[in-house]
Structure 1
């Protein structure tokens, strides 16, 4: 008797689950959810060529140095690189003396307090230090950035789909919302009149919800003076800093690719040897 009751209860709950699944599927097919402005007008990243693309790609050290310069002079005012140490910059081609000089351009707040003033003491960074945060805490960061906390950029190129292309597209994608159309020719404000960008935010179709607190950081040609003489257009600066942030997210990319190619070569040789061994062993065997 008890077994029959348990079976009935199981059948009842199984039936309810099947009914719920069927009802939900039917509702989705007959009455799909209305598209949102984000779904209709969010753009995928542009196609951008980087030297590290592809299985044989590698970093352009000169470009990485330019990208670091853009980060230092523009991005570091709000964003941090907490997983990158100053000594890591030697991988970009800087000498030990240059790394020490770069580190001294930042200031690190020491954990102790100056006994004379009561203020937190500071010290010059050493190459072993990581890049310090531009704000003391999240409260200070939000207060200085329209209640938005600038994210750390160390791993941003790996945290977003098509990371370097996404960063480049975002940096160059700020535009007026007026008259903006999607690939189907639909105009944003005509299709979604209530989607006007709130005051204090900035329209960017490459951002997930189309509006973000960050103002266009790269706004004019020549904003950075490259030491190698490269013309600092907005597109060039965006490309360079995107490449630099790819390096911060995956500094071992080149060694990973070279190891992968060596492994593939080894597997090809091993496969050929295995096949030849098979033919040799079974050559005089009759089927």
Structure 2
């Protein structure tokens, strides 16, 4: 009876996995364009969106580790470029110690930001220099101000962006490097396509038109310390993408490093349980009858 129940349970699980795979394939198939490029509707038309190219980081894979130097460069790009429009509301200044900064450096970094506060004398809302226990503030006092400064578009918070977008860091890197003029081939294929006056063409963004202007526009826009890679647009985009992967999943490397000993223990426990089972049931096995 137990064997039959186990077989039925395994069959049910297998069929569930197969059904999930088939359902996913059916859902994705209609939006796949030529050469596997995704398509997105815009203005009742369908325009091609190039799939972000792969981005290889040191943190990739089951044995990945954080490249602290790269994460510090990525934070520098965020602080000097991205922080003008985007917040990191789920990241505290003290979390930067995980990137290799000491307490004094973290205190200095925090003091360079203005965070919301309250005047102790009047009780009115004000701002004050940040402290290590504070979280990265929004550059705008409220959503209305954010819309007014960005053509009625609110810049998204970047804390979890690497988890919120398909492709993660590769998507972020692709967006930062995907700006350019509209290709003539696109205009010929879709004569009605036109990037809005308040938008910018980006070959990796769904609908190909993005409200955000190019944040990284020139080599050396951020000055790296001596001995660091040359701050090209490609390098700066890669570094800030790696940093945003860390903000979205700061425990990623620790989790994978912890997982290997756990898997080893489970394997050992499985083998031990199997041997115990053999030992316990050995005496209850029916003896073979010897025939003359």
Q: Fold match, TM over 0.5?
A: yes
Q: 1:64 to 1:48 in 2, by over 3 A?
A: same
Contact preservation (8 Å) 2:47, 2:208: no
* Alignment of structure 1 residues 98-117 onto 2, 5 Å: 98-112=105-119
List per-residue Cα deviations over 1:173-198 (Å, max 9, x = no partner). 1111132xxxxxxx322221111111
Whether 2:132 is the aligned partner of 1:127: answer yes
Instruction: After TM superposition, give the deviation of residue 111 of structure 1 in Å.
Output: 3.2
Q: Find out whether 1:59 has 2:66 as its counterpart.
A: yes
Distance of 1:159 and 1:41 partners within structure 2: 21
- RMSD over aligned Cα, in angstroms? 2.3
Does the aligned pair in 2 maintain the 1:84–1:248 contact within 8 Å? yes
Residues 32-83 of structure 1: per-residue CA shift (max 9 Å, x gap): xx98567541111111101111111111111100000000000000000011
Worse overlay, 187-196 or 237-246? 187-196
Aligned to 1:148: 153
From 214, 218, 238, the equivalent of 1:220 is: 218
Deviation of the 1:274 alpha carbon = 2.0
Equivalence for 2:84: 77
Aligned length: 246
Question: TM-score under structure 1 normalisation?
Answer: 0.80
Deviation of the 1:281 alpha carbon: 3.3
The aligned counterpart of 1:245 is 244
Contact 1:114–1:120 under 8 Å retained in 2? no
Bigger mean CA offset, 77-86 vs 199-208: 199-208
SS of the aligned residue for 1:162 comes to coil
Q: Structure 2 vs 1, CA of residues 253 and 35 (structure 1 numbering), >3 Å: closer, same or farther? A: closer
CA contact (8 A) 2:168 2:245 kept: yes
TM-score, normalised relative to structure 2: 0.78
Q: Secondary structure at the match of 2:244?
A: helix
Deviation at 1:119, TM superposition (A): 8.2
Q: For 1:206-255, what per-residue CA distance to the aligned partner results, in whole angstroms no more than 9, with x for missing partners?
A: 11121111111111111111124321011110010001001111111112
Secondary structure of 1:84's counterpart equals: coil
> 2:54 matched to which residue of 1?
47
Q: How does 1:127-276 map to 2 (within 5 A)?
A: 127-179=132-184, 187-228=185-226, 229-276=228-275
> Which residue matches 2:96?
89
| Secondary structure, aligned partner of 2:192 | helix
The aligned counterpart of 2:26 is none
Over 3 Å counting, the alpha-carbon distance change for 1:100 and 1:286 in structure 2 is same
| Residues 110 and 166 of structure 1: CA distance in aligned 2, closer, same or farther (over 3 Å) | same
Cα pair 1:113 1:120 within 8 Å, conserved: no
**Partner residue of 2:279?**
280
Give CA-to-partner distance per residue, 1:11-44, whole Å, 9 cap, x none.
xxxxxxxxxxxxxxxxxx9xxxx98567541111
Change (3 A) 1:267 1:212: same
**Structure 1 residue 169, shift from structure 2 partner:** 0.5
Instruction: Give 1:201 deviation, angstroms.
Output: 0.6
Q: Which runs of 5+ in 2 are unaligned?
A: 1-29, 31-38, 288-292
For residue 273 of structure 2, give the secondary structure of its aligned residue in structure 1: helix
